[in-house]
Amino acid sequence: MRGRKVDFLTEIRRDRLKKRKKQPLQPTLFARISAVVREYRLTEDFVTSLTAREIRLPSDVDPVIPRDRKPLVVPLYALVTEEEYRVTRGILQKVSNPYLTYVRSPEDILFSGPLFRRNPALPPGQLVRWPFETLLLCELAKEEVQRLLAHQGKGVSEVIRKRVERLEAFVASVESE
């Protein structure tokens, strides 16, 4: 009886060890933001410019071509100067949303707040693939298409129909990848 109990306990331990996967170390949010601060030499002036702004969709979305994101090398641990530390802490205090995990540029930091407020459920694949400005313009385009189509019953002019087509093509180009 005792032998089966020991075998059973050993088997349980072995199964638990197999289930436990080694999780690779990931850079912290602080390390990611400090990498952006260092790469782009951000100062405290940038932190003071982080205020809520109204972002508008450009009247002509054709020149807004979705572009790839520039890669950012994020160290596992952040070694920063005192100035970089203050800037990084300031950014983390002023901009607090889950999209900061995917930031690669100062523009991404600026657009992360408005983007998160408009759509807090974007899939990680899109956040990794596209600059936040492009994603924000896509969300604004969706809203404008809905607004324009709501007025469709009143008779849509040719200009509005073409605008809706361009906006839908832009949204499709971002969401298809």
Residue 30 confidence (pLDDT) above 90: yes
Domain-by-domain residue ranges, the chain? 24-175
92-113 per-position pLDDT tens digit? 999 889 999 999 999 899 999 8
**Taking the alpha carbons of 74, 79, 81, 85 in that order, is the dihedral positive or negative?**
positive
Per-residue pLDDT averaged across 47-54, rounded? Answer: 76
pLDDT at 41: 94
What is the pTM (predicted TM-score) of this model? 0.75
117-166 per-position pLDDT tens digit? 989 999 988 888 888 888 888 888 888 888 877 776 566 677 777 877 88
State the number of CA atoms in the 13 A half-sphere of 128 facing the CB: 4
Element (H, E) at 120: none
Average pLDDT, the chain: 82
Q: Round to whole Å and give the CA distance between 136 and 115.
A: 5
pLDDT at 3: 56
Q: Give residues with Cβ within 8 angstroms of 106, minimum separation 6.
A: 36, 40, 42, 46
